[in-house]
Structure 1
């Protein structure tokens, strides 16, 4: 399987996906930031018809392809689902966002289930790095919350410009990293050199457990992640959203709203400090058992929270979630592609399930339609993961995962930029405010 043949396939897929913007002649709906007085009735599909229409079939088919591609790289796929739902399905942005949360959750459930069963190195090492997820998840959630506020403040043209510049740069670096991996694999990367030395790539994750410990179930790490999930979810329910939807009566964007929102900062600091103290104690205990002969790696624990905060912040601004941005950053840091995909899938599941459940509790309608799309993405993700896994085992090329991440990002640039450009032009011709706005 040659590199140029694989790149041709990716190019054809990009062209095919970008052509979906011309399937439907529906007008682009007004963005959320331009309709502040949105009530619960806007969760319904304004163009709903009885039975299964051609749009529903087209959305299901394209979403299946998007889910299959996204699952290989461990990214959520929200950057593909939202343009498909709005351009092809003719849905408003708010409805598309709610459906996308369920679709991403469905795909993430399939990814996590598969990566939990699959192990690397003949069952010696699990693929999901729960320690890395522990360090990243609180700050990823905090970054997304801050990014959502900036999304409401920034004008649409600035968001689109930042999206193109940043994601295009990440796409270029990701594809270049994939080409490097491909070249190494083509030169017998998994074999031995002429001197008999192994050339297998080491796992560069600084947070991984020892091989003997990784076979055991990480109940402590999973329990801490569940506690993080419930803590942030409780804050989200108490705070509500900027449209006044919440489980308690609170003024939208009032003093109480911002006080509850600010509680995420000490919460993230608390969990991170707890995790680092726990890791330091475990490391000291291991050194004592080995007579102090354990070589300690350079400390890089704080790199992951900072990286997660940046990815979540930008993801919230762009409205695509942090998974699509944290995956290329981890790849650039030298994390093994399979570990990156598995760990990002787990973090995407935590954040997307929180959003989906929040939509349910806030009175979302058309639940069965959202669950149907989620089931479709679940099956498509399993199929995509199975195909990618067989290709990696057959050809010995984990770089396919890197190219999958680059493909999803490239498709997102084409679809979301086309959609955003139409939205900006329509706002400009309508004489709407093109400058900075209030957060509420």
Structure 2
């Protein structure tokens, strides 16, 4: 599979950097224990809550504009836009980092929900299947949510400057990878368009997947918007996704009310693993059986949008990618869309379906975080409602304009270019914020090593 080298590169880079930093910092602080007890160490105490008054001024207006375009392009690319929202809310509006992260999840939830609503009324570009790939959603959602839980736990332990370094490296690598993928798709689309301009041109199946056109070779039966909406809904799969969401929500609420590192705390944490594995295993068995049946009958079609053969090694690899993506997303505070969106493209999912499916999965993960943050009173309600309203409008109109532009230009690669641009912008903004805060921590002689998990809760 073409995506394996890139996935293992992310894992290798993540592991080597973390291990090296841990060894170096442990050596330094073991020999100089007085560095652990600096009185100014902000990383050893909760960050002060900073909630500006809700009033319409130039700060809120600028945040509205940035939030609108960030939500519009973020949902089109299938990555959310959290890497843009958090710096915007801290630098411009004036929120503290934790409150900004909570409000960012509110914006992502609003934008992804409106995007899913829009996509439910859109036909698949070239197949008689829903544009939301429920199989891929149910395959990745449980492992992604499990990974996010692990990543959030690691974010408590990892030093802030290390998270900044990982943000810059991983986001930059993903952005560059997506950019070259977009260029490759652009070139293939150009070849297909030239073939279509010739008399009696034949469009290959690969070309058909790349172009979202209003003039397909096989005429589709015209459907009403309500027929398309009902066709895109798959109640059985949707119910399974909701059940997984509720299970994780209940476990997270239970864990938040427990003493960190107590026996009950670890029991609730460990229960998340069988819940995720049960949902993932159910989908694995289904995909494996369907794929094997098609191979035995000589049917070359894919079981779902991913252009891979669903064998046991491929399914295990997808589990690895889901946990890795969630862990990185939870660690960096970006949810997981920055990994899931590019990953779906790498395994052969066409851009329109990759965007719709990644946004669909993000709706579940972001809404889980929003409910958690609401119960913990991490964000002010007036700001949350206003920014969610902005994101809801942005998510809908962003999908509307970009998909119309893709259909007009017959360039689905535009979605991949947008995805790459959003990830790069997030790497830039989060990198600048992280470097600035790390410099201030160094100047204040704050503790810069790994923290103990139980003492940092």
For the 8 Å contact 2:157–2:452, the answer to whether it is kept is: yes
Mapped pair 1:150 → 2:159 = no
Mapped pair 1:239 → 2:255 = yes
Deviation of 1:230 after TM superposition, in Å, equals: 0.6
Which residue of 1 is the match for residue 262 of structure 2?
254
Whole-angstrom CA distance in 2 between matches of 1:422 and 1:136: 35
For the 8 Å contact 2:131–2:356, the answer to whether it is kept is: yes
Which residue of 2 is the match for residue 272 of structure 1?
280
Deviation of 1:100 after TM superposition, in Å, equals: 0.7
Whole-angstrom CA distance in 1 between matches of 2:410 and 2:440: 49
Whole-angstrom CA distance in 1 between matches of 2:339 and 2:408: 29
Deviation of 1:436 after TM superposition, in Å, equals: 0.7
Q: Which runs of 5+ in 1 are unaligned?
A: 1-31, 205-210, 241-245
Task: Compute the TM-score of the two structures, normalised by the length of structure 1.
Answer: 0.81
2:71 aligned to 67, 70, 79, which one?
67
Which residue of 2 is the match for residue 426 of structure 1?
440
SS at match of 2:281: helix
| Alpha carbons of structure 1 residues 69 and 103: separation in structure 2 relative to 1, 3 Å | same
Mapped pair 1:94 → 2:108 = no
For the 8 Å contact 1:144–1:314, the answer to whether it is kept is: yes
Mapped pair 1:129 → 2:156 = no
Mapped pair 1:263 → 2:268 = no
Which residue of 1 is the match for residue 112 of structure 2?
108
Deviation of 1:122 after TM superposition, in Å, equals: 6.7
Task: Compute the TM-score of the two structures, normalised by the length of structure 2.
Answer: 0.78
Whole-angstrom CA distance in 2 between matches of 1:216 and 1:370: 30
Whole-angstrom CA distance in 2 between matches of 1:396 and 1:257: 52
Which residue of 1 is the match for residue 403 of structure 2?
389
For the 8 Å contact 1:147–1:317, the answer to whether it is kept is: yes
Whole-angstrom CA distance in 1 between matches of 2:143 and 2:443: 39
| Alpha carbons of structure 1 residues 183 and 279: separation in structure 2 relative to 1, 3 Å | closer
For the 8 Å contact 1:193–1:199, the answer to whether it is kept is: no
Mapped pair 1:403 → 2:412 = no
Whole-angstrom CA distance in 2 between matches of 1:59 and 1:35: 31
Deviation of 1:364 after TM superposition, in Å, equals: 4.4
Which residue of 2 is the match for residue 119 of structure 1?
123
Deviation of 1:282 after TM superposition, in Å, equals: 5.4
SS at match of 2:361: helix
Which residue of 1 is the match for residue 357 of structure 2?
343
Q: Which structure has more helix as a fraction of its residues?
A: 2
For the 8 Å contact 1:174–1:405, the answer to whether it is kept is: yes
Deviation of 1:188 after TM superposition, in Å, equals: 2.9
Whole-angstrom CA distance in 1 between matches of 2:117 and 2:193: 29
Equivalence map 1:27-66=2 (5 Å): 34=43, 36-37=45-46, 45-48=50-53, 51-66=55-70
Figure out how many residues of one structure are paired with residues of the other and give that number: 387
